[in-house]
Every structure is written in structure tokens, then in C-alpha cells.
């Protein structure tokens, strides 16, 4: 389960050989959510509203990198880190 990014208490992970549709796992405190790469909607789990807004703000301009990370984790191979929010 490689961590690809961490910002403002949010940690982003991909699971090796995970199920479709392409998504990532976002953790914030005791909360975990599976977030769809294409729509940025929460597929399962939950995040506080502020954390979900930060995840969406981070992920929106990084969708190409997230798609690449999904492909890498699906093989499985090492997953490239993705830059955090400034």
C-alpha cells in the first residue's frame, strides 16, 4: 500500500492490485474514503467536508498523475510520488 502524498493531515494511498474503477484511498484522522479519480466522488467511506474539499482541490489538477499511479499499482510496481498542495 504505497503512500503517494501527504498534505494538511490527509494521506493518499493506492492499494496494489485494487478493484476498478480507478480510485485512491484518502485518510484523515480516523476517516478513510475511496475517491474515484475521474469524478472525485467518494465511492466508499467518508471524510469530513473540509478534508474532502482539500482532497478534491489536490486531485483535480493531478488526474493524469493519479491515472499513472493507478496503472503502476495495478501491475504492481513502485508508485511515483505526487506533489502535495502548497
Give pLDDT tens digits for 25-47: 999 999 999 999 999 999 999 99
CB 80 within 8 A of CB 73: no
Residue 17 scores a pLDDT above 90: no
How much is the pLDDT for 13?
A: 98
CA geometry: angle 35, 43, 33, nearest 5 deg: 55
* Cell numbers found for residue 81: 510520488
Distance CA 85, CA 73 (A): 22
Burial of 17 (0-12, 13-18, 19+ CB in 10 A): exposed
Residue 20 scores a pLDDT above 90: yes
Q: What is the CA radius of gyration of the chain?
A: 11
Amino acid at each position: 500500500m504505497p503512500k503517494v502524498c501527504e498534505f494538511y493531515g490527509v494521506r493518499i494511498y493506492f492499494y496494489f492490485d485494487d478493484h476498478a474503477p480507478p480510485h485512491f484511498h484518502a485518510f484523515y484522522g480516523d476517516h478513510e474514503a475511496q475517491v474515484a479519480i475521474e469524478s472525485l466522488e467518494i465511492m466508499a467511506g467518508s471524510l469530513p467536508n473540509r478534508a474532502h474539499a482539500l482532497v478534491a482541490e489536490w486531485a483535480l489538477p493531478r488526474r493524469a498523475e493519479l491515472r499513472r499511479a493507478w496503472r503502476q499499482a495495478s501491475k504492481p510496481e513502485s508508485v511515483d510520488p505526487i506533489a502535495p498542495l502548497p
